[in-house]
């Protein structure tokens, strides 16, 4: 047992030690210009640089992936890091992918041949080619048909594995929703907040001297101290307030937050029901405010959008650059009247909405991730977006209709829940990926002599 533990430790130590050596070896093998990390044709004498459980990673794979990463970064940011940084990132991404593929194998996640064939048909349609021509084009870079199909299979496997594991790990408690709703209600410009306030006003005449103003401020501070000691707010308001609402105990009624003076909202935004503000000065005098009630409005006017989209998921052989190019081509075809959005969605979209032509139905704010929703909100009726990248892939979005609707308190809570889930997705995915990566055995190989 001790010998087995020592061997495992030795393997891990050697693996970490060789990781940097692998990158140095990759830099040394084959001339590699800064403009092109990977050559256009396969490298002669290709060799294995690492093995993740039962999956090998070759020198050519690393260099090809590094070039893809570089092209995507140039497209997005206009700049890319040095070759050695790209190679390290490419190697790590491939290790993560192989670890995920091993996990899929171990947990019985599979993609059948029909799904692969459908993926081929989608790719061919995206490229506006027949299936036969698309296969010839995909094989023109030296790959066999089996290798092309395996790449698509792996892409689908990674998608299926993430969909099976990540959403189930995201937990949003009622306490988190309550806190998020409360935080939104506390903002002075939150349209969904209704406030019920009461006030005691100590009026300050326009002609008051500094001494009079000081005396009136002292009076307000004294009243606040009495209230904090437990005196009844309504009784004190009735006896001491200079406001016309003193007969109602100073109650100003329940109304949307934006219907109160901004000064009142800011003074009470961090208070809960039953709490008192500090003495607040306005043009009328000195105010003491009490929060009677604070809640989300039972109905909030919202803008609902009816939209549809085409989604291309990334991974395997489909990069950000390639997905953007394909969707940009779709957009041009639609605008030129040569293609129909719904039909393209049925044939190409990698989303559950594909059978309905990409139709997402009527949705309110907070339904989609920020990148998608911000783009959708900026579109006019019938307008089609440029390709948009989100964590789900690359989208082409079209807005069909808009209308004014009403959001109930239940809808608002659900919207908040979805927003919290979206915020947690990326972190949850990374944690899950690190767990899978941590369980994988990675062996780095030295180059052949």
Read off the pLDDT band of 15 (50, 70, 90). very low
For residue 188, tell me if it sits in a domain: no
Taking the model in full, what pTM does it have? 0.51
Query: 210 with 356, same domain?
Result: no
Write out pLDDT tens, residues 112-122: 887 888 778 76
Residue pair 101/157 in contact by the 8 Å Cβ criterion: yes
Cβ neighbour number for residue 303 with a 10 Å cutoff: 11
User: CA-to-CA distance for 331 and 170, rounded, in angstroms?
Assistant: 35
Tokens 């909202």 found at: 265
How large is the C-alpha radius of gyration of the chain? Answer: 31
Decide: 37 and 63 in contact? Cβ < 8 Å: yes
Q: What is the pLDDT of residues 96-142, one digit of tens each?
A: 999 999 999 999 999 888 788 877 876 776 576 888 888 888 887 77
User: Can you give the CATH number for the domain in which 13 is found?
Assistant: 1.10.4030.10
160: tokens are 């299926």
53 by DSSP, 3-state: which? coil
Pair (157, 259) in one structural domain: no
Domain boundary among 296, 322, 352: 296
What tokens appear for 98 in the block? 């192989």
State whether 240 and 379 are in the same domain: no
Domain boundary among 265, 296, 327: 296
Number of domains composing the chain: 3
Q: Which residue is listed with tokens 């990673």?
A: 57
Q: Which of 280, 296, 312 is the last residue of a domain?
A: 296
For residues 7-32, average pLDDT = 47
Q: What are phi and psi of 404, to 5 degrees?
A: -90, 130
| Residue 270 and residue 319 in one domain | no
Shared domain for 74 and 117, answered yes or no, is: yes
Cβ-proximal residues to 340 (8 Å cutoff; 6+ apart), any chain:
334
Is there a single domain that holds both residue 27 and residue 107? yes
What's the farthest any 2 CA atoms get from each other in the chain?
A: 98
Asked if residue 179 is part of any domain, the answer here is: no
CATH, residue 346: 3.10.50.40
Residue 364 backbone phi and psi in degrees, to 5: -100, 180
Does 128 lie in the same domain as 214? no
Residue 175 lies in a domain: no
pLDDT given at position 425: 86
Q: Is the predicted pLDDT of residue 1 greater than 70, yes or no? A: no
Q: Are strands 299-312 and 251-256 parallel, antiparallel or unpaired?
A: unpaired
Residue 12 and residue 55 in one domain: yes
Question: Structural domain of residue 274, as residue ranges?
Answer: 193-296
Residue 373: its H or E element: helix 370-378
Q: How far apart are CA 278 and CA 104, in angstroms?
A: 60
């Amino acid at each position: 047992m001790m010998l087995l533990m020592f061997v495992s430790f030795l393997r891990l130590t050697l693996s970490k030690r060789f990781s940097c050596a692998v990158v140095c070896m990759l830099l040394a093998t084959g001339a590699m210009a800064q403009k092109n990390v990977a050559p256009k044709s396969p490298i002669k004498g290709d060799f294995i640089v690492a093995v993740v459980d039962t999956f090998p990673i070759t020198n050519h794979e690393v260099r090809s992936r590094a070039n893809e990463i570089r092209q995507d970064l140039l497209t997005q940011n206009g700049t890319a890091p040095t070759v050695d940084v790209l190679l390290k990132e490419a190697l790590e991404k491939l290790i993560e992918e192989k670890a995920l593929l091993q996990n899929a194998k171990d947990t019985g996640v599979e993609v059948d041949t029909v799904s692969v064939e459908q993926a081929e048909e989608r790719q061919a349609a995206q490229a506006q080619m027949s299936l036969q021509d698309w296969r010839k084009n995909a094989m023109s870079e030296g790959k066999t048909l089996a290798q092309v199909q395996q790449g698509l299979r792996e892409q689908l496997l990674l998608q299926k594995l993430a969909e099976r594991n990540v959403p189930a790990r995201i937990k949003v408690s009622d306490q988190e929703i309550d806190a998020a709703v409360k935080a939104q209600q506390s903002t002075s410009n939150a349209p969904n907040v209704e406030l019920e306030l009461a006030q005691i006003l100590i009026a300050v005449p326009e002609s008051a001297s500094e001494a009079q103003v000081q005396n009136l401020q002292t009076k307000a501070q004294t009243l606040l101290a009495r209230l904090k000691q437990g005196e009844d707010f309504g009784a004190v308001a009735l006896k001491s307030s200079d406001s016309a609402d003193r007969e109602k105990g100073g109650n100003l009624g329940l109304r949307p937050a934006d219907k109160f003076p901004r000064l009142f909202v800011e003074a009470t935004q961090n208070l809960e029901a039953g709490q008192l503000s500090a003495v607040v000065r306005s043009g009328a005098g000195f105010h003491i405010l009490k929060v009677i009630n604070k809640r989300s409005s039972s109905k909030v006017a919202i803008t609902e959008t009816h939209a549809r989209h085409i989604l291309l998921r990334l991974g395997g052989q489909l990069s950000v650059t390639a997905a953007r190019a394909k969707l940009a081509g779709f957009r041009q075809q639609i605008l030129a009247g040569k293609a129909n959005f719904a039909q393209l969605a049925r044939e190409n979209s990698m989303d559950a909405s594909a059978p309905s032509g990409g139709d997402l139905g009527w949705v309110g704010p907070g339904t989609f991730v920020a990148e998608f929703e911000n783009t959708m909100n900026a579109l006019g009726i019938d307008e089609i977006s440029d390709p948009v990248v989100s964590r789900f892939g690359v989208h082409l979005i079209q807005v069909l209709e808009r209308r004014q609707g009403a959001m109930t308190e239940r809808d608002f809570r659900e919207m908040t829940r979805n927003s919290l889930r979206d915020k947690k997705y990326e972190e949850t995915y990374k944690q899950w990926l690190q767990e899978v990566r941590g369980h994988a055995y990675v062996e780095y190989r030295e180059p052949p002599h």
